Copies of this chain bind each other. A is one copy, B any other.
Amino acid sequence: MDKVFEALASTPRRKILAYLAEVDLTAGEIAARFDMSKPAISKHLQILENAGLVASEKRGQFVHYSLVRENLLNTLNGFVQRVCPVSTPLKRESAALRETRRSDPEE
């Protein structure tokens, strides 16, 4: 959880997540979208992966990155629950996502 919030604290990292929300990308494709060196992006990707927010898969010489939505939702949901115990915020979202994944042929 600490790692997730730590990872989310950086604007470029949140931007990476936003890109990956649209489509899976290789490290190079991600780097091309930023005005920043590749090693810098590589480090950001490591942090995101270490936080469980993205997954990487090496295919040939490319490394493909994809978003891991579940951990993000669970973490934010858990925190919101603790701080705003008024109702049940992201529960429906998480449930909906799990449902989506279950019927998703990929992955």
Contacts of A6 in B (CB 8 A): 9
Contacts of A76 in B (CB 8 A): 76, 79-80
What 20 additional pairs, Cβ within 8 angstroms, besides A80-B93, A89-B93, A92-B92?
Answer: A5-B8, A6-B9, A8-B9, A9-B9, A17-B83, A18-B82, A21-B84, A67-B83, A69-B84, A72-B80, A72-B83, A73-B84, A73-B89, A80-B90, A84-B97, A86-B100, A88-B93, A89-B90, A89-B92, A90-B93
Chain A positions within 8 Å of B, measured between CB atoms, are 2, 5-6, 8-9, 11, 14, 17-18, 21, 67, 69, 72-73, 76, 79-80, 82-90, 92-93, 96-97, 100
Contacts of A82 in B (CB 8 A): 18, 21
4 nearest A-B residue pairs (beta carbon): A9-B9, A89-B93, A21-B83, A87-B96
